[in-house]
């Protein structure tokens, strides 16, 4: 199963994002969607799983929950917008990691692309950076990867171009 992971679109979606996600089986959005049109564009392309972020309005919050815990291809996933990063998770993320023991933690918020194995919590941490134009990041990014028989494989960074 091929996954396209993005975050922090902040109401921005373009053909480059849609092009890179078109070959995925499922799209995951880790919050700060921005508006309903981003959700509609992504849902028109592929099945969509997401969480809301701190900038999201009641419309987006009515569609996506604050956190998601789910399983795909034998991989247990915890998704929330604000988690901190290893080893400095925020208290909410620390509690959720302890409670759910995911194989994969997906988050956004920082606009910093980072994929790292957290050996202390036995979890793979993934933050796809920011796909939108709002923020301090210089390059817009997303991630694609495969889930297969309980493993995350073939992770790739997709650079979408400069923020401006």
Q: Domain holding 21: CATH number? A: 3.60.21.10
CA-based nearest residue to 69, from 95, 41, 44, 40: 95
User: Which pTM was predicted?
Assistant: 0.95
Inside any domain, residue 89:
no
What pLDDT is recorded for position 136?
81
What pLDDT is recorded for position 146?
98
Domain count along the chain? 1
Over its C-alpha atoms, the chain yields an Rg (Å, rounded) of 14
What pLDDT is recorded for position 163?
77
pLDDT at residue 134 is higher than 90: no
Q: Could you say which DSSP state residue 66 is in?
A: S
Domain hosting 145: range is 2-70+108-115+127-162
For range 69-97, the mean pLDDT: 97
């Amino acid at each position: 199963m091929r996954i396209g992971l993005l975050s922090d679109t902040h109401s921005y979606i373009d053909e480059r994002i849609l092009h890179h996600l078109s070959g995925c089986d499922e799209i995951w959005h880790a919050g700060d969607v921005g508006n309903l049109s981003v959700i509609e564009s992504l849902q028109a392309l592929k099945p969509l799983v997401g969480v809301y972020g701190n900038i999201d309005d009641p419309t987006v919050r009515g569609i996506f929950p604050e956190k998601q815990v789910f399983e795909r291809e034998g991989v247990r996933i915890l998704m929330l917008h604000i988690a901190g990063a290893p080893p400095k998770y925020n208290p909410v993320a620390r509690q959720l990691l302890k409670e759910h023991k995911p194989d994969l933690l997906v988050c956004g918020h920082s606009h910093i692309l980072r994929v790292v194995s957290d050996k202390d919590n036995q979890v793979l941490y993934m933050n796809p950076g920011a796909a939108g134009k709002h923020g301090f990041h210089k390059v817009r990014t997303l991630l694609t990867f495969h889930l297969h028989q309980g493993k995350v494989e073939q992770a790739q960074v997709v650079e979408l171009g400069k923020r401006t």
